[in-house]
Amino acid sequence: MKLRHVAFTALPLLASLVLLPASANASTPESGSGSFTGTGDIISVTQAGGNTIVTATEVQALTGVLTGTRVASGTQTFHPDGTFTAHDTGTFTGTIDGRTGSITISGASTGTGNTGTGQIVGDHGTGGLAGLHLQGTFQPVITSATTAEGTYSIQFHFGS
């Protein structure tokens, strides 16, 4: 009987801990936007099923809420119907919201011709960007075989 009384007495305390918001130690979400330019270095070009698959590294200069440089690697597949899909992962080094450090940002996009739309996510920050989580959209425009530019919009917060 005493064990049951102790369990029921502790229940309100446990419930209050479980019901705490997950972001109790996170900052208020913020948003921002900016632009980017990128230059790629083609590693390989292969053909498969009528598709052209390009593997490359890219260096991007970002301005706006993200101010700095992102170095990424990934693939872009050009399909026979004129559409493309792409994905990459890279390290952004720079400043966001007055804090400086590095964070891993991954992106995936689709498009037709030389324009597209995509999603980005970022986490695993270091330095002043430790605890940073971001997500958003971007609109790339392929300007040549090895260059691109575009805009982005993100939502971000710093958590623990």
Is 77 part of any domain?
A: yes
Domain total in the chain? 1
What are the residues facing 90 on neighbouring strands? 72, 105
How would you label 53-64 residue by residue, b for 16+ Cβ within 10 Å and e otherwise? ebebebebebee
CATH at residue 61: 2.40.350.10
Distance CA 3, CA 54 (A): 65
Cβ atoms of residues 62 and 36 within 8 Å? yes
Is 142 part of any domain?
A: yes
Distance CA 139, CA 127 (A): 28
Domain that holds residue 43: 27-158
What is residue 9's predicted lDDT score, i.e. its pLDDT? 38
What is residue 27's predicted lDDT score, i.e. its pLDDT? 74
* 131 closest CA partner among 93, 101, 98, 91: 101
pTM for the full predicted model: 0.82
Is 124 part of any domain?
A: yes
Q: What are the per-10-residue average pLDDT scores of the chain (160 residues)?
A: 39 37 64 97 97 97 98 97 97 97 98 97 97 97 94 93
Is 18 part of any domain?
A: no
Is 7 part of any domain?
A: no
